[in-house]
Amino acid sequence: MTLEQLRRFVDALNSYHMREEQLSKAVEPFNSSWTMIEFCPLITKCIFDYIKEVFNDEGEWFGYWFYELEQGKNSDRLKAYNEKGDQIVLNTLEDVYRLLVSAK
């Protein structure tokens, strides 16, 4: 998978999650106990599983970058380190891609 192909997956995931959030906000006045509606969590799971398989991402670095680091937005406060103690830089999609390709 190329970087551009991975970028298209990320763009699709972001678009999908944005639409979920819009729907949740639209429904909230009618039922305040709903905090988030998921159209089909299987779509997201399939994309993440596919990326994991293509890159043999056993460490689930892509998911970590996407969710925990919020695509690099939290990389200033959350850090990852390799077995030698060196920091693994995951600020951008390019950083994650380099990590995934190098670990293949």
The pLDDT, as a whole number, for residue 28 is: 72
Give the model confidence (pLDDT) of 60-90 as tens digits.
Answer: 999 999 999 999 999 889 999 988 999 999 9
The pLDDT, as a whole number, for residue 22 is: 73
Instruction: Report the pLDDT averaged over residues 2-11.
Output: 96
The pLDDT, as a whole number, for residue 25 is: 76
3-state secondary structure of 88: strand
Give yes or no for residue 41 having a pLDDT over 80. Answer: no
Give yes or no for residue 32 having a pLDDT over 70. Answer: no
User: Exposed, middle or buried: residue 63 (CB in 10 Å: 0-12, 13-18, 19+)?
Assistant: middle
Structure tokens at 60: 């689930």
Query: Closest Cα to residue 103, out of 50, 60, 49, 44?
Result: 60
